[in-house]
Structure 1
Amino acid sequence: MAASAMSRVADWTTSLSDAQPVPYWLDDPQRPRPEPALTGDESCDLLVVGGGYSGLWTALIAKERDPGRDVVLLEGREVGWAASGRNGGFCAASLTHGLSNGLTRWPDEIAKLEELGARNLDAIEAAVERHGLDCEFERTGEIDVATEPYQAEELAEWYAELERRGLADGVELLDGDAVRAQVDSPTFRAGLWDRRGVAMVNPAKLAWGLKRACLALGVRVYEHTPAVDLVRSGPGMAVRTPYGRVRARHVALGTNIFPNLVKRVRSYTVPVYDYALMTEPLSPAQLASIGWQNRQGLGDSANQFHYFRLSADNRILWGGYDAIYPYGGRVRAEYDDRPETYAKLAGHFFTCFPQLEGLRFSHAWGGAIDTCSRFSAFFGTAHQGRVSYAAGYTGLGVGATRFGAEVMLDLLSGERTERTELEMVRKKPLPFPPEPFAWTGIALTKWSLARADERGGRRNLWLRAMDRVGLGFDS
């Protein structure tokens, strides 16, 4: 390595010297105190397991649909401590992990899925207003940026496809000058700006706000109360916890990547660890050097992609690129911290924004994403319809979990709705194979995606085979 290159690496790692290995969003002095743990036995109409977005939306909507319904929510740690408090805070309308993925898998109902997704994001915005959720909600949209010539060509081709299908409303194609006028990076060659389909939020404050709203409507919330097992109990179900038991007519499971109480569901998801950095606040001069006056979320168009955005106090969150699958699919706290990925991300950050040289990172963290083979949520019931579940959001759950909550409640009610009629809801993804096949397949896919990025987007034989069987992934 040349001396100048070694110096640059040293500069990048120096920028991490003060970074705290905790999620920025959760490192908040206004973080609410947890509710007491459950001790003794309880009974209710609906038991919700999981205190992330999935469970919180389910409990809240259940009470809004029927204020007289008795609802209990159990959380094994603290509300919002896992994926709901560690993500980038991109709240997208898409229910299908992007329109491209949805068109590939459900072409006949994509118009309905897009409509439902737009309505879902509007409903989130309305709930923020109705319940006074102080979560820094900004309907800024998102720009997909091209950093290579082939990516710019693909964005133009995709925009033409959207126009042909009548799906380009609110979407603007930006050339190099236009995208750099929005956010100035020498690496940007083109962009596709979805002006309405994505909002920015403070993800931890959203979770904490939903918890307050649930409590205000009479939901009984117990934190530090893991659900140990799920069994039939008379006409309903019972869930055992370390210090008690909850009997319920119905149970909704929003545990996502953590082991599902319906054991046959576990093979449908694997944990993939994602990592992010947060800078110190930018000075007015630093912010002016990059523009970004419209505060959109951004993501680049590579397979190994970065996502980045501004916080309310003008820090830059910079995440993505590495996606780490631990052998055996274990979820462990030790995987939440990965210095080698932080160093890589810091180098990429300063390549994107060289004008910010000298900026330092205040926080660095990671967390597990509940990934399934179709890259968007799946749903189902168990125990003769007494239990429902939703999982597999694959990193796009900030918005889609509210839709998933409505699906779980629809399934428990036994109603036929516009949601339960969807093929997306009725059918499951392919499960992951046992080890060592899962690790080998994921590792080969990750290697192939990196090779495609290096070779102008050309997908190798393995990726083309995955595309043919419905397991292909194109970021």
Structure 2
Amino acid sequence: MAPSAMTRWTAALSDAQPVSFWLDDPGRPRAEPALTGTEQCDLLVVGGGYSGLWTALIAKERDPAREVVLVEGREVGWAASGRNGGFCAASLTHGLDNGLSRWPDEIGTLEKLGARNLDAIEEAVARYSIDCDFERTGEIDVATEPYQAEELTAWHGEMRRQGLASGTELLDTDAVRAQVDSPAFLAGIWDRDGVAMLHPAKLAWGLKRACRSLGVRIYEHTPALSLTQRGAGMGVRTPYGRIFARQVALGTNVFPSLVKRVRSYTVPVYDYALMTEPLTDEQLASIGWKNRQGLGDGANQFHYFRLSADNRILWGGYDAIYPYGGRVRAEYDHRPETYAKLAGHFFRYFPQLEGVRFSHAWGGAIDTCTRFSAFFGTAHGGRVAYAAGYTGLGVGATRFGADVMLDLLAGDRTERTDLEMVRKKPLPFPPEPFAWAGISLTKWSLARADEQDGRRNIWLRTMDRLGLGFDS
């Protein structure tokens, strides 16, 4: 990369605000007061992201008489639910490829349940009048290297053979560039119906309002500090009070679980994103994108990108940073060297947009597990349920996870709880320094694979055989 080009591209970051674009909104709702004193309820939900919000909402929909309390350590939607790219996918398995490789015998059921779950999200957005810029545009997986184009063609053929290609379209170079005009794009698969774009923070805020409308009692700035069994129920201690609940659902995801044995199943991986200023009509015309799909490229170190309602481009991904020891800290939320790298990549993909500036740059932690899709379980004799490990695809799948947690707490055998995906857990991560060494070697190997036409070295092939399958 020529130094002059890098200077021009990084100059586009000079006014970028170090905060999530989605959360930088004057319409952000005021926080609810913290809990003081003692509360009692039938169901306590810990965590005010999508996982907790959907659980509280569906619990009241299932039984309006159930007393539900939700506590959030800061404010609803402040973490991953307000920082993500706003891709709301039907897939429950972090993509069809991952699901087919791990659960081939039940992939048809998983795909059906995922489609039903996305439909239910769209229905809830309409029913509760949640203004979150919901657009069922679909997503295009694009190839930016010849080997990726060959892989996409082969993969679409496999999807057809498996009877899983409905609603998808294979795009050659001309067809994909007719959708979004980048000189980097060589081919694509367009999933026309399986992904929606939305404003992630507004979805969280709308779910909060919907929960309150059904009678859920919400306390913000109320971290849950400990979880103990109390008679036939559970007790949770908070800074200024206590809560006694018959049952508890944990939606804490990347943060340390109150069920300590669950902690080894996830590690935090930091992801970063940029948001441009709004494009002019001329700039938007120069790249097409009339159908407003989400996009992601086919590399191991991949980018994801989409249009906002006011025609900004969100550009994220590529670097995935694991902090030694797996600690979640605010100091990791910003990484200027990654922002500079992302800016350079953006203008290589869209050279016709040179001169566009970035208004926001931010990052945050994702709860990653070794199978890249959520896992579930119970503790304390079935009084506590948890779901975690969404690995960056939780905007849609957390609603399914909420249903699973409520099924488990009810002791119900359902189509969801019968799934192998629900009954079995991923492999846990090893302790340090082995986790750091393994993740670092994996990142290096994935970068090498991208440089060598996708060829996976012996480390990645070993991970594949072990069912860890590290890829995008």
For Structure 1 versus Structure 2, the TM-score category normalised by the shorter chain is over 0.9
Name the CA distance, whole Å, in 2 between partners of 1:134 and 1:162: 35
> Which amino acid in structure 2 is aligned with residue 386 of structure 1?
R
Indicate the residue corresponding to 1:150 in structure 2.
147
Name the CA distance, whole Å, in 2 between partners of 1:218 and 1:196: 33
Indicate the residue corresponding to 2:126 in structure 1.
129
Name the CA distance, whole Å, in 1 between partners of 2:185 and 2:32: 46
1:17 Cα offset (Å): 0.1
Pick from 333, 337, 341: which aligns with 1:336?
A: 333
1:234 Cα offset (Å): 1.3
Consecutive unaligned residues of structure 2, counting only runs of 5 or more, are none
1:355 Cα offset (Å): 0.1
1:409 Cα offset (Å): 0.2
Name the CA distance, whole Å, in 1 between partners of 2:469 and 2:48: 31
Pick from 393, 403, 421: which aligns with 1:396?
A: 393
Pick from 58, 64, 67: which aligns with 2:64?
A: 67
Indicate the residue corresponding to 1:419 in structure 2.
416
Pairing 1:266–2:263 present:
yes
State the identity %: 83
Name the CA distance, whole Å, in 2 between partners of 1:188 and 1:415: 47
- State the SS of the aligned residue for 1:331: coil
- Residues 139-218 of structure 1: matches in 2 within 5 Å? 139-218=136-215
Name the CA distance, whole Å, in 1 between partners of 2:427 and 2:161: 31
1:473 Cα offset (Å): 2.0
Indicate the residue corresponding to 1:450 in structure 2.
447
How many residue pairs get aligned? The number is 472
Indicate the residue corresponding to 2:112 in structure 1.
115
- State the SS of the aligned residue for 2:364: strand
Name the CA distance, whole Å, in 2 between partners of 1:312 and 1:374: 33
> Which amino acid in structure 2 is aligned with residue 178 of structure 1?
A
- State the SS of the aligned residue for 1:143: strand
> Which amino acid in structure 2 is aligned with residue 284 of structure 1?
D
Pairing 1:321–2:315 present:
no
Pairing 1:44–2:41 present:
yes
Indicate the residue corresponding to 1:234 in structure 2.
231
Name the CA distance, whole Å, in 1 between partners of 2:255 and 2:466: 27
> Which amino acid in structure 2 is aligned with residue 223 of structure 1?
E
> Which amino acid in structure 2 is aligned with residue 44 of structure 1?
C
1:474 Cα offset (Å): 2.7
Pairing 1:436–2:442 present:
no
- State the SS of the aligned residue for 1:188: coil
Pick from 76, 97, 102: which aligns with 1:79?
A: 76
- State the SS of the aligned residue for 2:10: helix
> Which amino acid in structure 1 is aligned with residue 357 of structure 2?
R
Q: Deviations over 1:291-342 (max 9, x none)?
A: 0000000000000000000000000000000000000000000000000000
- State the SS of the aligned residue for 2:325: coil
> Which amino acid in structure 1 is aligned with residue 135 of structure 2?
E
Question: TM-score scaled to structure 1, two decimals?
Answer: 0.99
Consecutive unaligned residues of structure 1, counting only runs of 5 or more, are none
Indicate the residue corresponding to 1:95 in structure 2.
92
Q: Deviations over 1:66-115 (max 9, x none)?
A: 00000000000000000000000000000000001001110100000000
Indicate the residue corresponding to 1:248 in structure 2.
245
Name the CA distance, whole Å, in 1 between partners of 2:161 and 2:412: 36
> Which amino acid in structure 2 is aligned with residue 279 of structure 1?
T
Question: TM-score scaled to structure 2, two decimals?
Answer: 1.00
Name the CA distance, whole Å, in 1 between partners of 2:314 and 2:454: 26
Name the CA distance, whole Å, in 2 between partners of 1:263 and 1:166: 41
1:472 Cα offset (Å): 1.3
Name the CA distance, whole Å, in 1 between partners of 2:198 and 2:380: 36
- State the SS of the aligned residue for 2:245: strand
